[in-house]
Amino acid sequence: MKKKYSINKTTNLSIVTIMLLVILTSLTSKSYAQNEVEVFPKIKATVGIVHPIVTFSSEETTTNFKDYYIVGMPIAINVWKNKSIGFSFEIVPTIKTDDGLSKVNSVLIHPGILVRLKHELTFAGRVAFETSGRYGFTPVLSKAIGIHKDYNYYVSVPVPVRFGNDKPASVTLGLQFGISF
């Protein structure tokens, strides 16, 4: 007899609580100004957690956390050419829990261009290739919320646009939290 593993509402609440504590801690901790001269090209890495919130298509509107739960873990290497522009290579495995069963739903290959904006904002324009057969692009707006000497916390709003695999085009609104170092 197989035992079913699932993420229940208490676990979801715990994950959200931990993310909020990390954000609040980073906002209240001492930030460091960068007094050193930056040397380019510069290589940075990021790790995070992304939650698709709502997906719109011509057939339906679906929300995460209602009938199922999807979470992704973006892992990226960013190469900054100069202070304003860079290249990013991101891979995002996603896990879906539905009806008491969980599995790797898809792996997203997500290269793109980074553009640093004012007020600690960064825009990422990414192309998307999913192992589920979907493809498209993802504009992402990120904000550094905790700036430290060796690492930064960030929050991002990705808006994946997907096509293919005999499904209608879709647009998703997501929320991502992470750390860059």
Query: Per-residue pLDDT tens for 128-152?
Result: 999 999 999 999 999 999 899 899 9
Distance CA 138, CA 127 (A): 6
Q: CB–CB of 67/100 below 8 Å?
A: no
Count of other CB atoms within 10 angstroms of residue 137? 15
Residue 58's SS3 state is coil
pLDDT score, position 51 = 97
pLDDT score, position 37 = 84
Residue 95's SS3 state is strand
Structure tokens at 90: 């991101």
Structure tokens at 118: 């004012």
pLDDT grade for 38, boundaries at 50, 70 and 90: confident
% of the chain at pLDDT higher than 70: 81
pLDDT at 157 over 90: yes
Count of other CB atoms within 10 angstroms of residue 126? 23
Residue-wise pLDDT tens digits, 76-121: 999 999 999 999 999 999 999 999 899 999 999 999 999 999 999 9
pLDDT score, position 27 = 54
The helix or strand, by DSSP H or E, that contains position 92, with its residue range, turns out to be strand 85-98
Single out the residue of 89, 71, 67 nearest to residue 176, CA to CA: 71
Single out the residue of 68, 64, 71 nearest to residue 50, CA to CA: 71
Angle at 15 (CA atoms; ends 7, 130), nearest 5 degrees: 70
Residue found under tokens 């589920």: 132
Distance CA 13, CA 180 (A): 25
Distance CA 172, CA 55 (A): 4
pLDDT grade for 20, boundaries at 50, 70 and 90: low
